[in-house]
Chain A
Amino acid sequence: DAGITQSPRHKVTETGTPVTLRCHQTENHRYMYWYRQDPGHGLRLIHYSYGVKDTDKGEVSDGYSVSRSKTEDFLLTLESATSSQTSVYFCAIGGRTNTGELFFGEGSRLTVL
């Protein structure tokens, strides 16, 4: 199994508060991704990183920022959480053979009240 851990696994917060989700990998993989999963939408890409300090936007990046100061850590920040950001968030990394598949963490369920 790919060594990916997400924290926290569950979080409940209130509208307007900042939230940071952390993804940690032990695979030394260059590329890391944040997706959100919502019913009826599948998984959608928020942001991804292609190296330390190198990030780019995905399909649903509004309201989110990311940072990557070390190869192993990729942080997703909601500066001011809204109820529409209630979701399950997945971090992912690529496979060693670069044949397209991604390997996912266990997911973080965020509820914004």
Chain B
Amino acid sequence: AQTVTQSQPEMSVQEAETVTLSCTYDTSESDYYLFWYKQPPSRQMILVIRQEAYKQQNATENRFSVNFQKAAKSFSLKISDSQLGDAAMYFCAYSTGGATNKLIFGTGTLLAVQP
């Protein structure tokens, strides 16, 4: 069975600095998708970034980028120029895609941004 592990329950970063959130996963599949979701205090689940496993190039979305290491089964999220609005719970998630699209989530990392 696939699993997703986030080993950092909490992280803190200074405003304007860079922070990296870690995620590892376990799967025997060769084709899959990985995601980072952000959950601010409003509770809304917001998709931050997506990575297709068949793509070697790391995904980027503005200040958010990932370091995808397929052999190591590692998928970290880097947030550059951190802003107060980045404070949230961040979830790493895995999916085999296809018809059913069932996501498997990690336990989350709570990010605090210090002014």
The answer to whether A58 has its CB under 8 Å from any CB of chain B is: yes
Measured between beta carbons, the chain B residues less than 8 angstroms from A98 are 97-99, 101
Total A-B residue pairs with C-beta atoms closer than 8 Å? 68
Digitize B31-50: 1 where CB-to-A-CB distance is under 8 Å, 0 elsewhere: 01101000000111101001
Question: Once bound together, how far apart are the Cα atoms of A44 and B106, in whole Å?
Answer: 9
The answer to whether B105 touches A100 (Cβ under 8 A) is no
Per-residue CB proximity of A37-69 to B under 8 Å, as 1/0? 000111111001010000000100000000000
In the complex, the answer to whether B52 meets A99 with C-beta atoms within 8 Å is yes
Chain B contact residues (Cβ within 8 angstroms of A): what range?
A: 20 to 34
Q: Which residues of B contact A58 (CB under 8 A)?
A: 102
Q: Which of A41, A43, A88, A100 has the most CB of B within 10 A?
A: A100
Interchain CB contact under 8 A, A107 and B100: no
In the complex where A43-B91, A88-B43, A107-B43 touch, is A102 in contact with B107 (Cβ < 8 A)?
no
- CB pair B44 A40 closer than 8 Å: no
Partner of B105, one of A31, A44, A88, A106: A44
Q: How many residues on A have C-beta within 8 angstroms of the other chain's C-beta atoms?
A: 24
B44→A104 contact, CB < 8 A: yes
A45 to B103, CA, bound (A): 8
Contacts of B96 in A (CB 8 A): 100
Residues of B at the A interface (CB closer than 8 Å) are 4, 6, 32-33, 35, 42-45, 47, 50, 52, 91, 95-108
Measured CB to CB, the residues of A under 8 A from B are 31, 33, 40-45, 48, 50, 58, 88, 90, 92, 94, 98-104, 106-107
